[in-house]
């Protein structure tokens, strides 16, 4: 029995290339924001993580934070709560995404 994923792959032989390209683009955008990811991450999870990081950044800006000053590479951030949490070495993307969202909500609650 052939599943829907296999049928899609047969109908679009470039699908895997498109997935890899999307994952690379998302990984690059996350890297620009100081978020480390692995090369074998699922593109859908990367997209969800990027959305969470962008929500975190909106919360920082709404609280008066400067994203350039509060990056993970910053030596002297305005507030440690304005720096996106670092991902733990073996932490799944889904758990990390939840921590980023929790941090964004925490910033909003502090205002």
Instruction: List Cβ neighbours of 20 (8 Å cut-off, separation of 6 or more).
Output: none
**CA-wise closest residue to 29 among 8, 7, 2, 57:** 57
Domain count, the chain: 1
Query: With 60 as the cut, is the pLDDT of residue 1 above it?
Result: no
Per-residue confidence band for 49, with pLDDT thresholds at 50, 70 and 90: very high
- Apex CA 41: angle with CA 40 and CA 45, to 5°? 165
Query: With 80 as the cut, is the pLDDT of residue 11 above it?
Result: no
Instruction: Quote the CA–CA distance of 56 and 99 in Å, as a whole number.
Output: 10
Query: With 70 as the cut, is the pLDDT of residue 25 above it?
Result: yes
Write out pLDDT tens, residues 67-94. Answer: 988 888 888 888 999 999 999 988 999 9
- Domain span at residue 53 reads 4-110
Please report, for residues 30, 47, 64, the alpha-carbon distance to residue 84 in angstroms, rounded to integers and kept in the order given.
11, 16, 15
Average pLDDT for the chain: 87
């Amino acid at each position: 029995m052939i599943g829907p994923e296999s049928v899609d792959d047969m109908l679009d032989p470039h699908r895997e290339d498109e997935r890899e390209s999307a994952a690379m683009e998302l990984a690059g955008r996350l890297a620009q924001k100081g978020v480390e990811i692995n090369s074998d991450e699922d593109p859908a999870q990367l997209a969800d993580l990027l959305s969470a990081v962008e929500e975190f950044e909106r919360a920082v800006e709404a609280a008066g934070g400067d994203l350039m000053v509060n990056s993970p590479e910053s030596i002297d951030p305005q507030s440690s709560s304005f720096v996106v949490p670092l991902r733990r070495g073996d932490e799944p993307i889904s758990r990390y995404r939840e921590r980023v969202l929790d941090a964004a909500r925490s910033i909003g609650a502090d205002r």
